[in-house]
Chain A
Amino acid sequence: MTEIAFAFRCVLSSVLIGTTLAAAGEIPMSERRSGYDMMSADTKAMQDDDTANPASLWVLEGETLWSTKTTNNKSCADCHGDTAQSMKGIAARYPAFDTKLNKPIDLGQRINLCRAEHQNATPFAPESRELLALTAFVARQSRGSPIVQDDPKMQPAIAAGRALFEQRLGQLNLSCAQCHDDNWGKQLAGSTIPQAHPTGYPIYRLEWQSLGSLQRRLRNCLFGQRTELYAFDAPEMIALEAFLMWRARGMPMDAPGVRP
């Protein structure tokens, strides 16, 4: 490489780095708003009334599954007792670091690990009705609990998630941060861009006409960026989940939410 070409490259990369840094405008803690706050009155009402919230159907199913005994005659309830006590605030702390696996896992993976280790049962597939139902039932117990992401062992995953969040991706060369840090509150087509705080997962998304996990939502965003989708439960997925929960630390859970 000639010296001129090298100098040109240096200038080019500093320009690129400059724009990347400029794009990473973190939202001050006091200005954070959940997606709920940006919804129409109708959609808020749909979430607030348990008898109208379609996610209640999954919560009800999850409640049944929770006390269903598997082949070794064990149910979730046999170990965990009264969910209102034992599961309060649990969903607000996931993803969490699993010392046995020596890696972070999200709530769905935790439920499946329990099935394998304690219930002698096969894991539920990602996004299966059963897994969403159990996740919704557990997450429901955390309504109002503040999101916590303070385990030092989670730091590498949070850092990796942040890097992914700020990384330009796909055919649109667009990062998560460009929408959700820099342009929240503005319109993208007919929709208001939210700040992307995962307070309500699993959510009943009107677009899906169904309940879905944060991973499914992330895959939708990746598709919008015209990039390759991470597989369900891929390390990138868990890292992004961990970063988003850290970014939303202290905000109250409102799961299972309704979102447009």
Chain B
Amino acid sequence: MAKPLINVPAKAKRGEVIEIKTLISHVMETGFRHSNIGEFLPRDIITQLVCHYNGEEIFRADLFPAIAANPFITFHTVATESGMLTFEWTGDNGFSATGQANIAVVD
């Protein structure tokens, strides 16, 4: 399973709004297509991305087939304290992938 690419600033000032960028390998098959030889391609997508900051949920996205292959999602959060951000992608056919990033918050 391919590793997701997560970009979180390694260091931030307390109270600073930081940008988080995520990229993950996934075909995001829509469930509305057929292959070259006419076989129906069943839906196979990531349905959710959840991000926790030191255990507390700070962001959740519900994805639909209209999200491009290899989903790229960016969002923001306030750097409150040093610690860890964890990311969990879940989807069809039992898909699950996780990632994490550390952040050091200074005054």
Direct contact, A vs B (beta carbon within 8 Å): yes
Question: What is the interface of chain A, defined by CB distance below 8 A to chain B?
Answer: 51-52, 54, 56-57, 60-61, 64, 209-210
Q: Are A56 and B23 also in contact (CB < 8 A) when A51-B7, A61-B2 are?
A: yes
- Total CB contacts across the A-B interface at under 8 A: 31
CB–CB B23/A57 < 8 A = yes
Q: Mark B82-105, 1 if CB is under 8 A from A, else 0.
A: 000000000000000000000000
CB–CB B72/A52 < 8 A = yes
CB–CB B68/A57 < 8 A = no
CB–CB A54/B23 < 8 A = yes
Bound-complex Cα distance A64 to B23 (A): 17
**Chain A: which residue is nearest B29 at the CB level?**
A209
Cβ-neighbour of B2 out of A52, A57, A210 (below 8 A): A57
Q: Top 10 nearest A-B pairs by Cβ distance?
A: A209-B69, A51-B7, A54-B70, A51-B21, A57-B25, A61-B2, A56-B5, A60-B3, A57-B2, A52-B72
**Chain B: which residue is nearest A52 at the CB level?**
B72
Cβ-neighbour of A60 out of B2, B21, B28, B72 (below 8 A): B2
Enumerate 17 A-B pairs (CB-CB under 8 Å) in ascending A order.
Answer: A51-B5, A51-B7, A51-B21, A51-B23, A52-B23, A54-B69, A54-B72, A56-B5, A57-B5, A57-B24, A57-B25, A57-B70, A60-B5, A61-B2, A209-B27, A209-B69, A210-B69
CB–CB B23/A209 < 8 A = no
Question: What is the interface of chain B, defined by CB distance below 8 A to chain A?
Answer: 2-3, 5, 7, 21, 23-25, 27-28, 68-70, 72
Point out the residues of chain A lying under 8 angstroms from B70, CB to CB: 54, 57, 209
Residue from B3, B5, B68 whose CB has the most chain A CB atoms within 10 Å: B5
Point out the residues of chain B lying under 8 angstroms from A210, CB to CB: 69
Bound-complex Cα distance A88 to B68 (A): 32
Bound-complex Cα distance A61 to B72 (A): 17
If A51-B23, A57-B24, A64-B3 are given as contacts, then 11 extra A-B residue pairs at C-beta distance below 8 Å, sorted by A number, are: A51-B5, A52-B72, A54-B69, A54-B70, A56-B5, A57-B70, A60-B2, A60-B5, A209-B28, A209-B68, A209-B69
Bound-complex Cα distance A64 to B25 (A): 15
Residue from A51, A52, A60, A61 whose CB has the most chain B CB atoms within 10 Å: A51
Bound-complex Cα distance A60 to B3 (A): 8
**Chain B: which residue is nearest A64 at the CB level?**
B3
Bound-complex Cα distance A51 to B101 (A): 14
**Chain A: which residue is nearest B7 at the CB level?**
A51
Query: Nearest Cβ distance between residue A137 and chain B, in whole angstroms?
Result: 13
